[in-house]
């Protein structure tokens, strides 16, 4: 079982915003490569493979069990592990890094799977948040390569409401006194902390914040301590690069399966998906609302909707609350075992 980061070098790789002279995709594999039940599980915003971000679903006895499936986890471009502003040399590093689309990520992952790992078909793509948007993009870009897909707390396109929210943390970073238009020489503490504070307000549902006792039960004396440790600390302590954060956010903000080959026709793009889908929004998600998921399922050919009954908002899908993980795991298990 492979549990450390591996790196595939694509060489010169065209992306939506230009080109990368030597694009790199970081990934991990779990289980037997000869197993034809291949599960792809890409990352979302603000997580890295090296931090064990996918462990809440991957592992022996878990829903994505390496004894049952060959699991491949991928790091998004711009997350600091795959090619990113922070690890790309001049002339494309830092603020000069080109825009990366979801399609760019999927094409790169497809190369790793087919040319390097010998995968002929994906049994299922599972993803949370930005990972879920990748799960939606896979069967659109490679319609005959993917059998099933599971977007968790996600959507096939980033809604205007979601795009508007993302303008908040982006503006906080770009306007900070130490971001310096991306030319900072040391960690822009003011910008990253401001970004994190704006971001935190949407991560949990309104219901969760009403249940204030969950926040204050012994661990945090007040709300400010919670935000400083769980949000500012999340990005500062884990050495997130500010340009990486903005580049990732831009990928998220412009996500839309319909721009790939359907000329912006969202309904047509949804109806074109042949893979079976399991769509799991959170009841209290303020990023990707369950109403959007209901709309998508009504247009998909073969998809089931299971709303996560939770007060944990968007984070319900990312492993924050064990009962939510149990619910998600149960539904995915049923979906993977169904004919």
The answer to whether 314 is a known catalytic residue is: yes
| Contact present, 269 and 277 (Cβ < 8 Å) | no
Specify the long-range contacts of residues 246-250, CB closer than 8 Å, at least 24 apart: 246/170, 246/173, 246/174, 246/182, 247/77, 247/78, 247/84, 247/85, 247/97, 247/99, 247/100, 248/45, 248/46, 248/76, 248/78, 248/79, 248/130, 249/45, 249/166, 249/169, 249/170, 250/99, 250/100
Active-site residue, from 285, 293, 306, 324: 285
The answer to whether 256 is a known catalytic residue is: no
Active-site residue, from 104, 159, 314, 324: 314
Helix (H) or strand (E) holding 6: strand 6-15
Phi, psi (deg, nearest 5) at residue 74: -120, 140
Active-site residue, from 129, 154, 272, 282: 129
The answer to whether 129 is a known catalytic residue is: yes
Catalytically active residues are 129, 285, 314
């Amino acid at each position: 079982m492979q549990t450390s980061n591996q790196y595939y070098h694509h060489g010169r790789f065209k992306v939506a915003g230009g080109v990368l002279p030597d694009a790199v995709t970081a990934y991990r594999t779990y289980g037997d490569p000869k197993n034809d039940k291949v599960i792809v599980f890409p990352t979302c915003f603000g997580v890295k493979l090296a931090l064990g971000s996918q462990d809440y679903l991957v592992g022996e006895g878990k829903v994505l069990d390496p004894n049952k499936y060959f699991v491949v986890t991928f790091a998004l471009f711009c997350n600091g592990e795959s090619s990113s502003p922070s690890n790309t040399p001049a002339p494309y590093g830092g603020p000069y890094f080109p825009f990366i689309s979801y399609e760019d990520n999927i094409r790169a992952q497809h190369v790793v799977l087919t040319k390097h790992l010998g995968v002929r078909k994906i049994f299922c793509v599972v993803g949370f948040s930005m990972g879920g948007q990748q799960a939606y993009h896979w069967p659109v870009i490679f319609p005959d390569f993917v059998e099933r897909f599971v977007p968790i707390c996600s959507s096939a396109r980033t809604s205007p409401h979601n795009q508007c929210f993302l303008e908040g943390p982006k503006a906080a970073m770009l306007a900070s006194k130490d971001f310096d238009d991306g030319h900072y020489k040391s960690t822009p503490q003011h910008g990253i902390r401001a970004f994190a504070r704006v971001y935190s307000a949407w991560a949990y549902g309104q219901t969760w914040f009403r249940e204030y006792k969950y926040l204050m039960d012994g661990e945090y004396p007040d709300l400010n301590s919670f935000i400083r440790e769980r949000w500012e600390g999340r990005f500062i302590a884990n050495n997130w690069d500010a340009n990486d954060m903005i580049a990732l956010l831009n990928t998220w903000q412009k996500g839309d399966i319909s721009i790939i080959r359907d000329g912006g026709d969202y309904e047509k793009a949804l109806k074109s998906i042949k893979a079976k889908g399991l769509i799991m929004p959170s009841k209290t998600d303020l990023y990707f609302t369950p109403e959007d998921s209901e709309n998508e399922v009504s247009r998909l050919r073969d998809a089931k909707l299971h709303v996560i009954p939770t007060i944990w908002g968007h984070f319900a899908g990312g492993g924050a609350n064990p009962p939510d993980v149990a619910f998600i795991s149960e539904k995915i298990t049923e979906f993977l075992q169904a004919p």
